[in-house]
Homo-oligomer: A and B are copies of this chain.
């Protein structure tokens, strides 16, 4: 294995370290090295039983790691970035996960200064450990349908938190099952019998000393999952639990205890900001999530040899690395291209987010407040917030689908060994999967994008001036409605990008026709909306990738050869996507049938060949330490078989039992040394 990977690396001169620095910055890479060194030296982070242990043991280890990590943070003075890096390296969800993310964020963003003092301080010091309890057994996506109530009791100035039905039970709440003693609970606010919709309340759920559930609180872990088993997702039921007035997070809305009146929220924008940030962050992560699988599969397929090439000359008589088979290349290399595409798109989203936050905070006080409406109701043509919101929805959906489904493609590309946990892909994939469902189910988010594009279409149809990229491409499309398109998709990059824009515009106006002119029911258009959202988001990815390669920061940082390789990746990603969606490209007239055939049979096949020699160095540039990947197949040194063998025969507790194999005998294990085995490790 070792020499094979070396010779792969010799075949290309892509400067790995330089490319890594360009992708992540030198500082980030040094940070990673520094944090890794600390983690590697701590026994509790040793991963060698991760793939073997059962749920209770894994949870126990995860808790030990979470605690130690917190201690290390304090000890080494690690900042937020350092912690993120540490979590990435450890690569498993842990029992403090939701405390450190949504609990702290919600307290910070939605609490008043008084509440910060009361709750946030303690939470930051881990004197209280919290979670974010929104979803219920009966309702997830539809937050307005939540059944938990928070009834204002004017007499004693308290809220009564109550779960009226079984389906009102909070469910899926990360860190709640065993760990948290506090929760931010989303509940329907009721004042004087009148409902005011879901609001956040801070509720203590376990005793701070004994850690037993408080009276009238029923709380526990919801059980095993497809992945995420190091996390204690929990359930939570309340039987008329009283909390003081100050426990309703009151930065945006509150109840005036003097008048018993509801005080309306200040600014919708700020509330939606968090969701947009979270989704943008999912986009940014998706590239590296996928890159783990691509790194593992690419390295392994460069080493794995199977069959001789039927047409190979006699001189190359040995078995062929499976990465040489075009059927393996066509599965892996477009995904390799996608990792870069998603990375640049994620960076673009984060920039976009930062810019729009600046604008909003400028206008925060001026903004008209209408919490009920949601951003899709705002005026699209002129509103960069709506633009950002839609982009974050569409791209979250597209990017997490590409990453999740791509990981499974990578796993399967490894053949039988891909199925072993030691491949490192399966467990990672299983933990990542919920990203397609949470923070907006990927199918449902497409409705938000469609809504935004419909608004944009209306504005353009009315003749309003384009105010952002979306209205711009719609306007251009309309302007050419008597001429049609003529894009040189294979010859010119700009035209390739423009063809994606054209398709989006075409589908947008089709949707507009169905909805606004033919008055079709919303529900009958959901499938069209999903396609529309996907088309728009693919356009955004292609455009972001293209612009990243054009930008001066790229041309300054990278040598000609590297840029050429990245450019090929851009073309592979765009043309391969176009080919997969080809019917929409024909139907919209963005391309001819002939162009698609050429793209598929010539250009894409040629690009695969050209990128092939650089594949290993390109995945190297993602710079995953072996410790992070925890994969036999993806080892940097290529010692795949040695490592598989070592883990199976040395680390595997099942091998310390001896069975009685005969059906008549009721003895199952004649000898069971698995406990000794464990303690020896």
Contacts and interface: CB of A to CB of B under 8 A. Distances in A.
Interface of A: 51-57, 59-60, 63-64, 66-67, 70-71, 95-96, 126-127, 129, 135, 137-142, 145, 166-167, 169, 171-172, 177-181, 211-212, 218, 220-228, 232, 235, 305-307, 309-311, 319, 324-328, 330-331, 408, 411-412, 415-416, 418-422, 426-427, 430, 433-434, 436-438, 441, 443-444, 446, 521-530, 582-583, 586-587, 593, 596-597, 601, 605, 641-642, 644-645, 647-649, 651-655, 657-666, 668-670, 674
B658 A135 contact: no
A60 B172 contact: no
Contacts of A226: 411, 419-421, 426-427, 430
Contact of A663 (B126, B171, B235, B421): B126
B663 A416 contact: no
Nearest to A211: B658
A654 B526 contact: no
A446 B326 CA distance: 13
A320 to B, nearest CB: 8
B523 A311 contact: yes
A180 B641 CA distance: 24
Nearest to A660: B211
A222 B412 CA distance: 18
Contact of A659 (B179, B309, B655): B179
A669 to B, nearest CB: 7
Contacts of A651: 223
- Across the A-B interface, give the 8 residue pairs with the lowest CB-CB distance, nearest first: A54-B54, A70-B663, A226-B426, A327-B526, A582-B583, A224-B421, A220-B655, A67-B663
A655 B221 contact: yes
Contacts of A596: 583
A145 B66 contact: no
B659 A56 contact: no
B645 A169 contact: yes
A415 B441 CA distance: 7
Nearest to A326: B526
Given A524-B326, A654-B56, A654-B232, A225 B420 contact: yes
Contact of A51 (B129, B224, B527): B224
A590 B428 CA distance: 43
A140 B416 contact: yes
B306 A142 contact: yes
Residue among A59, A64, A437, A521 facing the most chain B CB atoms (10 A cut-off): A437
